[in-house]
Amino acid sequence: MSKKPYRGDDVYEISKELNGAVNQILNQKNNLEKDYNSLFAKSNKEFYSFNPKCFIIIGQLSSLQKEQIQSFELFRASCKDTEIITFDELFTRLETLLTIFEKKDSSIMES
C-alpha cells in the first residue's frame, strides 16, 4: 500500500508489487487455460481445469494503518478470480487448523 493517500484522506493506492502479482497470476491462469490440451492431452494422467482459483500470499495486514486496510479490503474483495491473503492471516489460519487437529487427536487418545 502506498504510504500517502491517493485521493482525499481515505483512499490508498495498491502497491506495485500487488498489482504486478495479480497480473502475473492471471496471465499464468490464462496460459494454462489456453495451453491445457497441449500440456495434458498426451499424458495418461487425469487433470482438469475448470476456472482455477488463483492465490497470492503477500505482505502483512498488521503492517497497514487503519485507513489503508479499507482500501486493501476493497481491492481484494473485487478480485473475483484471485484470493489475496497476507502472511499473518495465513499464519492465523494455520494456527487455527493446528488447534483443531490437536483437539481431535486428544479426543481420539482419550477414547
pLDDT (0 to 100) of residue 44? 66
Altogether, the residues listed in the chain come to a count of 111
C-alpha cell at 18: 500487488
Distance of alpha carbon 71 from alpha carbon 49, whole angstroms: 32
- Kindly list the averaged pLDDT for each block of 10 residues, start to end, along the chain of length 111: 77 91 93 76 69 91 90 92 94 92 69 56
SS3 labels along the chain:
CCCCCCECCCECCCCHHHHHHHHHHHHHHHHHHHHHHHHHCCCCCCCCCCCCCEEEECCCHHHCCHHHHHHHHHHHHCCCCEEEECHHHHHHHHHHHHHHHHHHHHHHHHC
Single out the residue of 52, 51, 58 nearest to residue 22, CA to CA: 58
Per domain, the residue ranges of the chain are: 16-110
Distance of alpha carbon 28 from alpha carbon 46, whole angstroms: 20
Q: Are 36 and 49 in contact (CB under 8 A)?
A: yes
